[in-house]
Amino acid sequence: MRPIIKVENLGKRYRIGEREPYRTIRDSITRAVAAPWRGLRARIAGEAAPADANHVWALSGVSFDVMPGEVLGVIGRNGAGKSTLLKVLSRITEPTTGRVELYGRVGSLLEVGTGFHPELTGRENIFLSGAIMGMRRAEITRKFDQIVAFAEIDQFVDTPVKRYSSGMYVRLAFAVAAHLDPEILLIDEVLAVGDVAFQKKCLGKMGDVAREGRTVLFVSHNMASIESLCSACLMFQSGRLEARGAPLEIMSRYVAAGVESGSSVRALVRHSGRRSHCVPAMTQVELRTEGGVPSAAIRMGAPLEIHVRYRANRPLRPVLGAIVKTSYGAPVFCASDRFCDQLIFCDPLACGTVICAIEKIPLMPGSYFIDLYLGDANGDFDVIHDAISFEVLPADVTGSGRLPPASAGPVFCNATWRLLDD
């Protein structure tokens, strides 16, 4: 089967601080003919290649294929090249190097303001967009009512889109892109502009499009959406394609790459979060997950172990407490041996490692911090706020094939259900 999208050695270079000059066809031909001779002359003269300090490569050496019907997620940090890739695929931006082959009609939703003429009405822009995609007027007319209903702009369909709110604009843009039967649908993070109900509606529509066998490229920072919608995933970093694979595998790699190197282990001797007037006994904290692997990226429902090393000025039976908080500082739950006295019969040690093992982490996807409290039977004497942070990755913990929404709160509860006949 032939790929519906074929990308070979794609590169896009931008000039920093100024616009690229416009050149005539004669200028381009002259430069192309002269370029090999300039390079040869420089090598003969022993001159170094000119510095490229005035340019930045938004994409460099990117190659991949997309098969028909594949739903491909694209993830990466801001500036990684994701949006530039979609602009090249949408033929908005011309590549500097390499080539792209597209075998199908392309619908795209890249950013607010792209694709519509502000002076035209919603109705006129729908027909204009369809015509640009190569559709006949009869085809657009057949889809028109569905587009307007999905976008919820019935009263404003004959109003110039320059008077639309950003939410109305995005609703209409998505409706046009999804309903005009493109073989290839390109969606950027622009969906974040809409409200929560609209985002859910769009994700549902994207799922329908995927099930119809059309090809989707979906750029998003929402890991739950990537895992639930996509059959494969690309990870970009600094303009390069770093990895491709199953969504969960690539997402784990992405989170691990985004977390500071060695962040599963944190030295505590000079930690800035230590409470004043404490006895500095805790020296290191380490997080481990499935299989005892050190990691600051934990899957939903996976085990979490908190290893805390300490060194005291006398032997003691340590009591460790850990408070897990959201990224906003709100406490979520506490685990402390002070409530259960499991270490009360251990031999006193002046130095050692206390391990707090949580069988299944009951958290929704997101970033979390841990406060640590170390003491003995008389109370806590070393307290460190925000001792270490970790990320919880989305996972199908119920086996239903669906992922819980992160917006539902920080705690996940796996309940059972039954129905009684009244």
Question: What's the pLDDT score for residue 261?
Answer: 43
Task: Choose one of 197, 223, 258: the last residue of a domain.
Answer: 258
Judgement on whether residues 80 and 166 belong to the same structural domain of the protein: yes
Phi and psi torsions of 316, nearest 5°:
-155, 160
Judgement on whether residues 61 and 174 belong to the same structural domain of the protein: yes
Judgement on whether residues 288 and 358 belong to the same structural domain of the protein: yes
List strands edge to edge, sheet with 97-102: 55-66, 5-15, 97-102
Q: Are strands 297-299 and 379-393 parallel, antiparallel or unpaired?
A: parallel
- 3-class DSSP assignment, residue 73: strand
- How many Cα atoms are found within 13 Å in the side-chain-facing hemisphere of 11? 10
- Which residues make beta-bridge pairs with 232? 72
Helices 166-179 & 196-211, crossing angle to 10 degrees?
Answer: 10
Q: Where are the alpha helices (DSSP H) in 70-136?
A: 82-89, 122-132
Cα 393 to the chain's mean position, in Å?
11
Task: Choose one of 258, 292, 315: the last residue of a domain.
Answer: 258
Question: What's the pLDDT score for residue 259?
Answer: 46
Question: What's the pLDDT score for residue 92?
Answer: 83
In a domain, 418, yes or no: no
Query: How far apart, in whole angstroms, are the C-alpha atoms of residue 377 and residue 28?
Result: 80
Cα 195 to the chain's mean position, in Å?
19
Question: What's the pLDDT score for residue 51?
Answer: 45
| Domain region containing 240 | 5-258
Judgement on whether residues 183 and 270 belong to the same structural domain of the protein: no
Residue 2 zone, left/alpha/beta (φ > 0; ψ -120 to 50; rest): beta
Judgement on whether residues 312 and 376 belong to the same structural domain of the protein: yes
Judgement on whether residues 237 and 351 belong to the same structural domain of the protein: no
- Size (the chain), residues: 422
Task: Choose one of 238, 258, 278: the last residue of a domain.
Answer: 258
Query: How far apart, in whole angstroms, are the C-alpha atoms of residue 163 and residue 157?
Result: 11
Helices 166-179 & 137-151, crossing angle to 10 degrees?
Answer: 140
Question: What's the pLDDT score for residue 224?
Answer: 67
> Structure pTM?
0.57
Give the CATH number, domain containing residue 198. Answer: 3.40.50.300
Residue type, 289: T
Give the CATH number, domain containing residue 311. Answer: 2.70.50.60
Question: What's the pLDDT score for residue 374?
Answer: 92
Nearest CA-CA partner of 102 in 114, 88, 115: 88
In a domain, 422, yes or no: no
Using alpha carbons, list the distances in angstroms from residue 379 to 103, 317, 376, 383: 69, 12, 6, 11
Judgement on whether residues 311 and 199 belong to the same structural domain of the protein: no
Judgement on whether residues 196 and 52 belong to the same structural domain of the protein: yes
- Contact, 168 vs 151, CB < 8 A? yes
Nearest CA-CA partner of 307 in 400, 374, 259, 225: 374
CB atoms within 10 A of CB 168: 18
Query: How far apart, in whole angstroms, are the C-alpha atoms of residue 112 and residue 322?
Result: 44
Question: What's the pLDDT score for residue 5?
Answer: 92
Judgement on whether residues 275 and 318 belong to the same structural domain of the protein: yes
Judgement on whether residues 393 and 340 belong to the same structural domain of the protein: yes
> DSSP states of 338-352 as a string?
GGT-TTTTSPPEEEE
Judgement on whether residues 248 and 298 belong to the same structural domain of the protein: no
In a domain, 416, yes or no: no
Query: How far apart, in whole angstroms, are the C-alpha atoms of residue 202 and residue 208?
Result: 10
Q: Are strands 379-393 and 366-376 parallel, antiparallel or unpaired?
A: antiparallel
Judgement on whether residues 380 and 270 belong to the same structural domain of the protein: yes
Question: What's the pLDDT score for residue 304?
Answer: 94
Q: What is the pLDDT along the chain (422 residues), one digit of tens a residue?
A: 789 999 999 999 888 765 555 556 666 566 656 655 554 554 555 444 444 567 889 999 999 999 988 889 998 877 788 888 988 998 888 899 999 999 888 877 776 556 688 899 999 989 988 887 777 888 889 989 988 988 888 889 999 988 888 778 878 888 887 787 778 888 876 555 556 677 777 777 777 877 788 888 988 776 667 777 788 999 998 899 999 998 878 877 776 565 444 478 999 998 988 988 888 999 999 999 988 889 888 988 999 999 999 999 899 889 999 999 987 678 899 999 888 878 888 889 999 999 999 999 999 988 899 999 998 888 889 999 989 999 888 887 877 777 776 667 888 887 888 889 87
In a domain, 222, yes or no: yes
Task: State pLDDT tens for residues 49-106.
Answer: 444 567 889 999 999 999 988 889 998 877 788 888 988 998 888 899 999 999 888 8
- How many Cα atoms are found within 13 Å in the side-chain-facing hemisphere of 47? 9
Nearest CA-CA partner of 225 in 260, 258, 184, 196: 196
